[in-house]
Amino acid sequence: MKSYLPKKMSKQKGFTLIELLVVIGILAVLLAITLIAINPARQFANANNTQRRSDVNQILNSIGQYSADNRGDITALGTISSDPLDPTQISNTTVVAPATSIGNAFCTTLVTEYIAALPSDPLTNTGTPVLEADCVGADTWDTGYTMYRSATDNRITVIAPGTELNDSTPAIIEVTR
């Protein structure tokens, strides 16, 4: 069978510059669409907020277990504010208003017996939990969480004040038991 193409045309192999530019342009558009759909910043914020929800529940569970073992008496944990507008910061340091610290009693009483370590906010100390050694020997430790006790029914509320924005509105993480 005889070829109707000239010999020069039939022996050339490869892609033209225009074809390469079109493919690169299509790939760039697909990559941009994928990055917009995935939105890594929102994914990290959601992951951190999920960690905060878990941490708040862990703290409340440990307080609940301590309370059950001590017939509802949690005075050994330290003075917990009864004012929701002035919550107690779960830390050993005195901080500027509105939050006040709870002190080492809270940490030393709960850690290892009721909870392995006090969880920290993902953006506080890079999320490093407060271990037993941190409770006793350290002058300062901070979980990044706050709590208060209801004056009417003595229910404990733990709040994660450092939540990240979620679709232009702050995600309020607050659990009461």
Taking the C-alpha atoms of residue 100 and residue 146, their distance in angstroms, rounded to an integer, is: 9
Q: Would you state the pLDDT for residue 46?
A: 87
- The closest of 129, 130, 110 to 63, measured between CA atoms, is 110
Q: What is the pLDDT of residues 74-101, one digit of tens each?
A: 988 888 888 888 888 888 876 655 567 8
Taking the C-alpha atoms of residue 136 and residue 134, their distance in angstroms, rounded to an integer, is: 6
- Could you give the count of Cα atoms lying within 13 Å of 91 in the half-sphere of its Cβ? 21
**pLDDT(10) > 90:** no
**pLDDT(162) > 80:** yes
- pTM equals 0.79
Per the prediction, the chain carries an average pLDDT of 86
Q: Would you state the pLDDT for residue 5?
A: 57
| CB-based burial label for 29 (10 Å; 0-12, 13-18, 19+) | exposed
Q: Would you state the pLDDT for residue 154?
A: 85
Taking the C-alpha atoms of residue 155 and residue 118, their distance in angstroms, rounded to an integer, is: 20
State the DSSP H helix or E strand holding residue 41, giving kind and residue range, or none if neither: helix 40-69
Tokens matching residue 37: 């759909």
Instruction: Label residue 110 by pLDDT band (50, 70, 90).
Output: very high
